[in-house]
Structures are given as C-alpha cells and as structure tokens.
Chain A
Amino acid sequence: MQRFSGLTLLRRGLSGQRGWQPQWRRAEPKPSYDAIIVGGGGHGLGAAYYLAKEHGLRRIAVVEKGWIGGGNTGRNTTIIRSNYLFDESAALYDHSVKLWETLSQELNYNVMFSQRGVMMLAHTVHDVQVSKRHIYANRANGVDNEWLSPDEARRICPLLKVDDIRFPVMGAAFQARGGTARHDAVAWGFARAADALGVDIIENCEVTGFLRDSNGAVAGIETSRGVIRAPRIGVSAAGHTSVLLRMVDVRMPLESYPLQALVSEPVKPIFPCVVMSNTIHAYISQSDKGEMVIGAGTDAYTSYTQRGGLHISRHALEAICELFPMFRRLRMMRAWGGIVDVTPDRSPIIAKTPVPGLYVNCGWGTGGFKATPGAANLLAWTIAHDDPHPINAPFTIERFRDGELIDEAAAAAVAH
C-alpha cells in the first residue's frame, strides 16, 4: 500500500500529483473465495479488512451492487457516540468508539474522527430521569457521560436556547468522547486497507441468489457478474438485508424505513459539538466544510425509495430553529434519504443465521454509522470463529423468540 502522509503529498506535489495508485483495485470476481461479504458499505468493507488483518483470511471478496459507500455509509449525519443505556449496547458501541479513536492511523487514511462531544438534551422531568440513568449506567460500564445544567450546556454550546421555548432545556447528558467523522473516508479507508491485504472489492455486482450445499449450508452467491463460491458469507446490507435473506428463506425481524438528513450552506465555524434532542427530534453538528448537518426522523412507512416526505424534514428544521433561532436564516443546501433497517427493539443483529455459513450484520436503524468499525470487527470475528464474540453474543436473532430484547427505544419511553 502506498503510504499516505504529508511528506508523500509534498513529494508528489512536485511532480503534479502523479504516481498515485488507485486506492483500491477494480477487482474482477474470481470463481471462489474463503469468505464473501455482501455489501460494500463501511460495515462490509471493514469486516473484510478485519477478516484479513486479524483473522488471517486472504481470499476475501466484498461484493457491492452499486459503488462502495453509496448506501447509508454516505447518507448519514456521521454522529459517533456510545452512551447507550443497556450494558450490552454500551459495550458494543464503545468497542466501536475505541476503534474510531485510532482508525485514521490504523488505516493510514484520515477519517477525520473529531471528538467534539455529543450533547443530548433533556426537556422534561422524564428526560432528566432517563438521561441520568444513562449517565450512571454508562459510567458503571466505563463509558464517559456527564450531566450538564442548562448553563453548563450553554457554556459548551453558546448558541443553544434553553429558555423561552416550548420545551425548555432542563439539562443535558454530554459524552465528550463522542463526535463525528468523515463518512466517505471510512468506506474508502477500509477499502484501500482491505485491498492492500488482498481483498477483492467488486462493485456493480448485485447478488441475485445464494448457493447451498447438500447440508443446506451456504456455498456461494449468484450475482449479476456470475457465480462466486465461498463457504462463509457475511451479509452487511442494511436496508436490503430482508431482501437478501429472503433468498435463503430466512425472514428477518426488520423493517426498512426512509431516513432523511440535510445540510445548510457552509458557514464559518460556529458550532462546537453535536447536539441531539430525542424529545423534539433533532440533531445537528457542523461539518469540517462548514455545513450544518441536520438529521431528520424516519418516515412512518416502510420504503426503499431513499427519499422521504417534506413534513419530515420540516419537522427537523422546526426543532432546530426552536433551539437555535439564529439558524432560521441559514438555508438548506442539500437533502437526501437513506433506507434504514429497524429491528423491533432498535438494537442491531450481529449473528449467525439459521443457514450454516451465513452471517448477518444488520438492524442498525438510524445509528449504524457510529458502529462502523466495531460492527465490522465483530462480524469478522463471528465469521472467522463461526461463533459470536462475547460483545455481540447478545445481539442474536433468537433474542426476539426468547424475549431477551435489548430495548433501547422502549427504555426512553414516555408515559406517566
């Protein structure tokens, strides 16, 4: 792998930036591999990388029906945090944050992980209770999270309006290690590093079926570019997981919803952290380029259209303008949609499937980007060992049968 550094950039600058190699080869599918990852997003590329790097597999392919990083990897608001409530979740997401912290160096690719801090606002007494439960649970799990009074929140984010709004801010939970990263770079960085370890990255290759052996185990895939054999296949296809698993008659506890995000025109640095509000449904940060990056909610109905309704993005901007009334004059520059696969308990599945040799990483809902290196790392482990790592062991498909949900959504449920 050609090394990236300031020095190489300088040196090549003297010769017109010539001599750079392709960051990953345009691989043609070989007849067979030791393992195939279906889905060339950050999760899938990362899984291939870790399979090669940590588990010594060499003959690995990633097949992607479009262009790598073109799904939810390139369509999210890049928020990274690990302040989830349940012990299992905190362990999972913090595994990822720890990998994020050294990912640029690990991949020799600047993924611009910026630990700007993630502030989650509490607007009601109930929010305060839920936030504090998160904080104490996180700390017990070694995950940083602290309570901020409204004044303390404003000291970190001076633009935040805490009073004279419909739902005044009563405080916030703040995870200083949380932040953002450059989403495309994660896909490209994993692709480049995986490629350097011999992984074949095969774009424009759509899976149309699975091969099974006489025991019912998976034996390969049928694709738009022909049959590719492998005894171990990991599916990392986000919103399209149901469609793929259906090909082996496995129904998944997943539904795919549109999720929208948008950015403003770029402005000079003004916003120091990530601010989220579950109660009034908004999250916002500022990208390195200066755009305010804003996440909206999911639409109510399942869809594969990668677009959502105007009322959904309006709702997100209503909340942003309520919390940051100076931003009313900023303008939406671009909006887009992704397809998020949501499980009944809003926690992911990283597990074996009923089909031997077939593994799945899915169900990340609206929060998959933050988990990219962690989920990839654990999927690789699960494939390599044909058994989950202790961190992802609770995130099975069977937990729904057994009632052992990891219900992050219900945990924040409101009643009274």
Chain B
Amino acid sequence: MLLINCPYCGERPEPEFVYGGQAHIARPTDPRACSDQQWADYLYLRDNVKGVHNERWRHTHGCGRFFNALRDTTTDRFLATYEVGHEPPATLKGAHS
C-alpha cells in the first residue's frame, strides 16, 4: 500500500486514490485529422516505462482531484507529485529507461 502525496491534501494511503495511467497524453484536439493509426496510438500506446514514470492519480476518496506524479517503476518510489497542467519538475524529467 503506497503512500501518495496529494498536492492538495498531503500524504494519504493508496486506497484513497485511483490510478489514472500515463500522464501528459493529450486527446488530439482535432480527432478528424488523425489517421486510424494515430487515433489507436492515442488510445492504446503507452510508454510502460521501466524507470521514472509520468503518471496520473486521482484522489477519488479525498479532494477528488487529478494530479500528476513521477514514480520509479523499479522501486515504486515517488519522486514528485504535481498539479495537472504543470510540467514535471525539470530536474526529474526524462529519466526514461
């Protein structure tokens, strides 16, 4: 049971949250301009990173808000959590492996 730092509420246990998958996957603004492949990529392709993963959580049983997190999927340690619409902390970004 992870301990997750909601940017709005502070540290709370995992059962209060719902995992929201990879972060920063924007729905194409003009779906009609997408090819079938591009649309499928948006729907289904995920980085599935082994390492630092950019992901979303929702504090469903708390403030109800979505937020983003950086978590190392090889240790499950959180490096940061941050609000929707923000970029991840620059120092931690892009540590894909």
Q: A304 to chain B: which residues have CB within 8 Å?
A: 50, 73-74
Interface code B52-88, partner A: CB below 8 Å = 1, 0 otherwise? 0101000000000000000101111000000000000
- Of A117-125, A246-254, A279-287, which stretch is located at the interface? A246-254
- Of A151-159, A165-173, A263-271, A305-313, which stretch is located at the interface? A305-313
Does A326 reach chain B (CB closer than 8 Å)?
A: no
Determine which of A243, A302, A402 lies in contact with B36 in the assembled complex, contact meaning CB atoms within 8 Å.
A402
Q: A10 to chain B: which residues have CB within 8 Å?
A: none
A301 to B46, CA, bound (A): 13
Q: B49 to chain A: which residues have CB within 8 Å?
A: 302
Give the number of chain B interface residues (Cβ < 8 Å).
28
A240 to B17, CA, bound (A): 26
Does B14 reach chain A (CB closer than 8 Å)?
A: yes
A253 to B15, CA, bound (A): 26
Determine which of A240, A300, A402 lies in contact with B14 in the assembled complex, contact meaning CB atoms within 8 Å.
A300
Known interface pairs A300-B19, A311-B1, A311-B15; A400-B50 also in contact (CB < 8 Å): no
**Closest residue of chain A to B77, judged by CB?**
A305
Nearest-Cβ distance from residue A27 to partner chain B, whole angstroms = 27
Does A401 reach chain B (CB closer than 8 Å)?
A: yes
Interface code A228-254, partner B: CB below 8 Å = 1, 0 otherwise? 000000000000101100100001111
Q: A400 to chain B: which residues have CB within 8 Å?
A: 40, 43-44
Determine which of B15, B18, B41 lies in contact with A251 in the assembled complex, contact meaning CB atoms within 8 Å.
B41
Q: Which of B1, B17, B74 gathers the greatest number of chain A CB atoms within 10 Å?
A: B1
Does A94 reach chain B (CB closer than 8 Å)?
A: no
**Closest residue of chain A to B35, judged by CB?**
A401
Whether the Cβ atoms of A301 and B19 lie closer than 8 Å is yes
Give the number of chain A interface residues (Cβ < 8 Å).
24
Does A303 reach chain B (CB closer than 8 Å)?
A: yes
Interface code A311-322, partner B: CB below 8 Å = 1, 0 otherwise? 100000000000
| Contacts between chains A and B (CB distance < 8 A), count | 67
Does B37 reach chain A (CB closer than 8 Å)?
A: yes
Does B45 reach chain A (CB closer than 8 Å)?
A: yes
Does B2 reach chain A (CB closer than 8 Å)?
A: yes
Does A256 reach chain B (CB closer than 8 Å)?
A: yes
A212 to B15, CA, bound (A): 45
Interface code A330-346, partner B: CB below 8 Å = 1, 0 otherwise? 00000000000100100
Known interface pairs A240-B50, A253-B44, A400-B44; A303-B1 also in contact (CB < 8 Å): no
Does B47 reach chain A (CB closer than 8 Å)?
A: yes
Does A255 reach chain B (CB closer than 8 Å)?
A: yes
Whether the Cβ atoms of B55 and A252 lie closer than 8 Å is no
Q: A401 to chain B: which residues have CB within 8 Å?
A: 36-37, 39-40
Q: A303 to chain B: which residues have CB within 8 Å?
A: 73, 76
A252 to B44, CA, bound (A): 8
Nearest-Cβ distance from residue B55 to partner chain A, whole angstroms = 7
**Closest residue of chain A to B15, judged by CB?**
A311
Interface code B5-25, partner A: CB below 8 Å = 1, 0 otherwise? 000000000110111010000
Whether the Cβ atoms of A309 and B1 lie closer than 8 Å is yes
Known interface pairs A251-B41, A400-B40, A401-B37; A305-B73 also in contact (CB < 8 Å): yes
**Closest residue of chain B to A345, judged by CB?**
B44
Q: B73 to chain A: which residues have CB within 8 Å?
A: 256, 302-305
Q: A255 to chain B: which residues have CB within 8 Å?
A: 21, 46, 48
Known interface pairs A300-B14, A300-B18, A301-B19; A251-B74 also in contact (CB < 8 Å): no
Q: Which of B18, B37, B45, B53 gathers the greatest number of chain A CB atoms within 10 Å?
A: B45
Known interface pairs A243-B50, A302-B73; A252-B18 also in contact (CB < 8 Å): no
Known interface pairs A310-B1, A311-B1; A253-B74 also in contact (CB < 8 Å): no
A344 to B55, CA, bound (A): 17
Nearest-Cβ distance from residue A318 to partner chain B, whole angstroms = 14
Q: B15 to chain A: which residues have CB within 8 Å?
A: 311
Nearest-Cβ distance from residue A316 to partner chain B, whole angstroms = 14
Q: B19 to chain A: which residues have CB within 8 Å?
A: 300-301
**Closest residue of chain B to A258, judged by CB?**
B76
**Closest residue of chain A to B19, judged by CB?**
A300
24 CB contacts below 8 A, A to B, read A240-B50, A242-B47, A242-B50, A243-B50, A246-B47, A251-B47, A254-B48, A255-B21, A255-B46, A301-B19, A301-B55, A301-B76, A302-B48, A302-B49, A303-B76, A304-B73, A304-B74, A305-B73, A309-B1, A309-B14, A311-B1, A341-B48, A344-B43, A401-B39
Using CB atoms and an 8 Å cutoff, list the residues of chain B in contact with chain A: 1-2, 14-15, 17-19, 21, 36-37, 39-41, 43-50, 53, 55, 71, 73-76
Using CB atoms and an 8 Å cutoff, list the residues of chain A in contact with chain B: 240, 242-243, 246, 251-256, 300-305, 309-311, 341, 344, 400-402
